[in-house]
Structure 1
Amino acid sequence: MSTPDNNRRRFTRIHFDAATDLHHNGVEIPVKLMDISFKGVLIESDQQLPLEPGDQVDATIHLLGNDVTIKAPITLKHQEDNRYGFALSQLDLDSLTLLRRIVELNLGEEALLERELEQLIHD
């Protein structure tokens, strides 16, 4: 059954376990990436984060140790218990290319990838 939230979702969430660091006010906070899409990330933290909806932080997602990373400014949209949903914004070209590859590998279908890229461009 479809819910209003499901009807609005235009970007597939990719369940992805990766070490991630948030950088906020000169402090690095290690967190765990739960899922990622072209529009956002869901992270889990062992500690309460000192953030309010609308706060922007920088995220570093470690794909292969410290050698391959996605770096992005993210904005907190919602929190439930120890999970935090952030919107992605202004990815650099290298990070966008890596994210595209993650989505491409996990969707497994070129048409789905193209649809999501089209939505990203027109959003």
Structure 2
Amino acid sequence: MAERRKFSRVVYRTPATIRQNDKSWETKVLDLSLKGALLATPAGWESGNADDYDLSFRLHDSDIELDMDLKLIQESDEYLRFQIDHIDIDSASHLKRLVELNVGNDDLLHREIAQLTDLKDTV
């Protein structure tokens, strides 16, 4: 099967909280990209009628918290795949830096940022 992913994923394991309306679950981020996140399916997980969720997590050994609005793309017993729907500028800057440090290829990172910008222009 050909790889369809346009954005590099970086393995980043950290505790996180996912929320939808008045529900909240403790989970773990498994990996991240500039466009999405893969989370462990938390205990007691119940997907709601809507596919909109809020995710927050802290960077390791830091007080920096990233917050983002997500859309649920796919779920299984083990994993939840999300697309980033909205992210504030501070969280986006930290996410970009996190990906940049882990990808290790400036040209690839700039190409992905350009693709992300192109996607926003078409929406």
| TM-score normalised by structure 1 residue count | 0.88
Q: 1:19 aligns with which of 15, 25, 42?
A: 15
Give, in whole Å, the separation in 2 of the partners of 1:29 and 1:78: 17
Alignment pair present for 1:44 and 2:40: yes
Q: Which moved more, 1:48-57 or 1:72-81?
A: 48-57
Contact persistence 1:59–1:72 (CA under 8 A): yes
Structure 2 runs not aligned, ≥5 long: none
Flag as ranges the 4+ runs of structure 1 deviating above 2 A: none
Alignment pair present for 1:80 and 2:76: yes
Q: Deviations over 1:47-90 (max 9, x none)?
A: 14211585111000211467211100111100121210011011
Identity within the alignment, %: 29
Could you say what the CA RMSD is over the residues aligned between the two structures, in angstroms? 1.8
Q: 2:28 aligns with which of 13, 16, 32?
A: 32
Superposition pairs for residues 84-123 of structure 1, below 5 Å? 84-123=80-119
Count of paired positions: 119
Give, in whole Å, the separation in 1 of the partners of 2:24 and 2:49: 19
Alignment pair present for 1:71 and 2:67: yes
